[in-house]
Structure 1
Amino acid sequence: MTGNELLQRKIAQAGFTQAELAEALNDWLRARGEEGTVSDRVVRYWVTGKIRRPWKRTRLALEAVFGCSLEELGFEPPAQTSPVRTTEQPVNRRSFLNGTTAVAASPLLGATPTVGFPEVSAIRRKLDALNALDQEQGGHDQLERAALSAASEALGLQQGTATQAIRRRLFSLAADLTATAAWTALDARAFARARKHLDSALVLAGMAQDSVTELRVWKTLAMLGFNTHRYADSLAAAQAAQRTGVARRDPMYAALGHTQAAVGHAALGDRQSTLRSIGYAEEALGKVTHAHRPTWVSFFGPGELYSVVASTQQDLFRPAEAEAASYRALAVLPDQFRRNRASVTARLAISLLHQGEAEQGCAKAEEVFELMDGHPLPGRLRSLIGDFHRDLLTRAPDSRTAIEWADRFRTEWI
C-alpha cells in the first residue's frame, strides 16, 4: 500500500483535485469564523501518508466535507486518553455559564453544509454508470434522458447550502452529464438535439471553470460537424479543443485534440496535415502517465488511435491502409467497448469491399451484429452498415454474396 489509499479513493470518487479539496475545507472553516489555511501541499502530504493525523480543526472539516469519520478517510484515530480523576470542587458560576453557552452553540458551529462530497459522489456514480452503458451499447433515447435528469439533479442541488468548491463541482457534473446526453444524441444521429445539449454544456463548463469538460464539448462539436458534413466547422472545433488549458497540461487530452483534428483534415482531403496530426497524437499518447481522469476518457488509448487512423485513411481513399489500421485497432481495443469494436469492424468491412474482397467484407459486416449481441445498433453504426450495403450493391449488385448478405440482414438494420 502506498500512501493513504482510502483518502485517494474518496477524492477520486468525488472527482476533486487536491487543490479543490483544500478550497472546500477552507470554505468550511471560514464559514465557521476560522482561518482557512489548508493548502494543496497539506492535502498532498495526507494523500502520500506523510501526515497521518491532521490537526483537530482540520479533522472536523474533513469529516464534515466528506460526511464520514476520520478512520474511514484512512487517518489514524485520535489517541485515547484516560480521564483524570480530581476531587470534586464547588461549581464556578462563570465556568458553568461559559460551558453552557458553548454547548448551546455547538450545533450551530458543527453544522455541515447541506450539500457536500456525499451528494457530489452520488451524482458522479450516476455519470460513471451512464458512460459505461454508452461504451457498451452506444447512444439511445433512454440514456440521453437519464443523463439530462441527472444533470437537472446536480443543478437542483445548487439551491442548498454548499461551499464554492462544491458548487463548481456540481456545475462541472451538470456540464459533463449534459455533454453525455449530447454524445448519445449524436451517436443516435439526433443532430439537432445534440447541438442544443452541447450549447448548454459549454455554458455550464464555463461556470464550473472546467477545461476538461470544455474540451469534451469541443471534441463532440467537431464530431457533430463531421457527421453533418460541415468539415471546416469540424476542424475549427477540434482546434478549439487543442487550445483548452487541459490539452496543454495533460498529454492524454492533447492526443484527443490531435486525433480529432486529424479527422477534420482527412475530411477536407488534406493528407499531409492528417498524417502530421496523427503523428502528434501518437507522440502525446506515448507521454501519458497514470492519473485519475473522468470515465468518458477511458475509451481513449492505442486502440482508439488506430481506429482514427483507419477512419482517416478511409476518408483519404486508402483502403489498404485503412484495413491494416482496423486490424491493429481490434487487436488492442478492450472487449468491453463493444460499440467501438463494432464501429471499427464495420469500417474494416468497407475497406475490404473497396479492395474487391466482397465475400470477406460481408463476413466482417456480419460480425458487427454479433458484437452488439442483440442490442439495437446506434444510429452512427447503422449508418456505417448502410454505407457498406450501398457500396456492396454498387460494386457487386448481382453477386450471390451480395444477395445472400442483403436477404439475411435486411430486417436487422432497415
Structure 2
Amino acid sequence: MQRRRFFALSAAATVALALGIDETPVRGRLSMSDIDRVTANIGRLDSHFFSIGGGPLLTVCTAYIDRLRDALGGCVYGTRVEKAIHHSISSLYASAGWAAHDGGDPTQAALLHTASLQSALLAGDASASARAWSNLALQARMEGRHREAVQITRAALDNRRARQDPHISALLHARLAIGQARTTDRTGAARSLLAAEQAYDRVNPAASEPSWLAFLSPAELSGLAAITHQALGQYDRAEASTAQALELLPPSMRRSHAYYSVQLAELQLAQGNRDQAVATVTTLDASSLDSRRIADRLAAVRRTLTA
C-alpha cells in the first residue's frame, strides 16, 4: 500500500511539474494571460482523463485549486479575472470529482462536485453551474437515488443558457433519460433520448467548446442511450447501441473505449452470450488505464467468465 501511494504521488508530481502549476503567480497582478495559461492546463488535464482515467488527477487538481486560491488571496486583479479564476476552480473541482469517482471514492466525489457548484455560482457562469448540477445528478444516480437524480437534472435544464447550449442540453437530456428509465418512466426516457439527439443536431462543428465536453460525441450519446435501454430491460437494444458507441469512438478516448467494452461484455453475459463476452474481454487492453472503477467492473466480468 505504501509503495502504491508513493508511485501515485510521484505521478501526480510529474504531471504537476509538466503543467507548470507553480507558474501561476500568487503575488503581484493577475491578468487574463495568466488565466489563458490556466485554461490551457485544465484542457491538458481533461485530455489526460479521457486517455487513461483519473489516476493522479485528484492530487494534481486539488493542488492546482490551492494555488489558485493563493492567487485570489495574494494578487491584484479585476472583476473579469476574478470570475475567470472561480470558473477555473469550478472546472478543477469537477475534474477532481471525476478522478475520485474513478478511484472508487463516491463520498469524496460528492463533496468535490458540490464545491464545483459553489465556485460556478461565484463565477456567475451558467454553463459551469450546469456542469456541476449534471455531475451531482450522476453522483445521485450512482448512489441509487434515481428520483433525486432526475430532479437535479431537470433543475439544470431549467437554466435557459444550459438549454440553449446544444452540447450541454444534449448531455443533460441523455442523462435525464437514464434517470427516467431507472424510475420506470419509459415514455419520459424515450422523449429525453429524442431531445438529446435533437440538441446535438444543433451543434456547430466549427464552434469551440470547453475541453471537458470533448467526450460528448455521437459515440457518447450512443453509449448513454445504451445505459437507458439497459435500465429499461431492453438488452438487445442496449448491446447494439454500445457496439455502435465503440465503433464511433476515436482512438484517443481510451478510457471511454474500455468503459463501453466492459459494458458490452456485461450486456452479452446478461443475455447468455458467454462466447461473445469472452471475445469482447479478450480484445480489451486495459493495462494502460488508471481507473479503479473500470478495473473493478472488468474483474467482475472475468470472474463470471471463469466461474
TM-score of Structure 1 vs Structure 2, range by shorter chain:
0.7 to 0.9
Partner of 1:198: 113
Q: Deviations over 1:260-308 (max 9, x none)?
A: 1011112222222111110000011001113222100010011000001
1:311 aligned partner, one-letter code: I
Range that drifts further, 344-353 or 169-178 = 344-353
Larger radius of gyration between Structure 1 and Structure 2: 1
Alignment partner of 1:317 out of 233, 247, 251: 233
Q: CA deviation at 1:386?
A: 4.6
Residue equivalent to 2:71: 157
Q: TM-score, normalised by structure 1?
A: 0.64
1:379 paired to 2:296 = no
CA deviation map 1:29-80 (0-9, x unaligned): xxxxxxxxxxxxxxxxxxxxxxxxxxxxxxxxxxxxxxxxxxxxxxxxxxxx
Among 339, 343, 355, which residue is 2:255 paired with?
A: 339
1:357 shift after superposition = 1.1
Preserved CA contact (<8 Å) 1:175 1:205: yes
Counterpart contact for 2:87–2:125, Cα < 8 Å: yes
Alpha-carbon spacing, 1:339–1:245, altered in 2? closer, same or farther (3 Å): same
Deviation at 1:387? 4.8
1:148 equivalent to 2:28? Answer no
Pick 1 or 2: higher relative contact order, CA cutoff 8 A, min separation 6.
Answer: 2
Amino acid aligned to 1:230: R
* Long gaps (5+) in structure 2: 1-27
Q: Which moved more, 1:228-237 or 1:130-139?
A: 228-237
Shift of 1:190: 0.6
Q: Secondary structure of 2:252's partner?
A: coil
Alignment correspondent of 2:37: 122
1:232-279 deviation per Cα after TM superposition (whole angstroms, max 9, x unaligned): 121122212212343122111111110110111122222221111100
Quick check: 1:127–1:177 contact (8 Å CA) kept in 2?
yes
Q: Which moved more, 1:176-185 or 1:241-250?
A: 241-250
The offset of 1:377, in angstroms, is 4.9
What is the count of residue pairs matched by the alignment? 278
1:280 pairs with 2:195: yes
Q: 1:385 to 1:182 in 2, by over 3 A?
A: same
Matches within 5 A, 1:1-400: 114-140=29-55, 142-158=56-72, 159-289=74-204, 290-368=206-284, 370=285, 372=286, 374-389=287-302, 392=304
Corresponding letter in the other structure for 2:108 = R
Partner of 2:4: none
Contact kept, 8 Å, 1:123 with 1:150, in 2: the verdict is: no
Unaligned stretches of 5+ in structure 1? 1-112, 393-401, 407-414
What residue number does 1:48 align with? none
Residue identity opposite 1:152 in structure 2: D
Q: CA RMSD in A?
A: 1.7
Whether the 8 Å CA contact 1:206–1:214 is kept in 2: the answer is yes
Q: Whole-Å Cα distance in 2 between the matches of residues 316 and 388 of structure 1?
A: 21
CA displacement 1:112-133 (0-9 Å, x = unmatched): x811022112211221111111
Separation of aligned partners in 1, 2:69 and 2:39: 13
Contact 2:225 2:241 in 1 (8 A): yes
The whole-number CA distance in structure 2 between the counterparts of 1:232 and 1:128 is 33
SS at match of 2:257: helix
Measured after TM superposition, the shift of residue 384 of structure 1 is 2.8
CA distance in 1, matches of 2:291, 2:146: 22
Per-residue deviation at 1:328?
Answer: 1.2
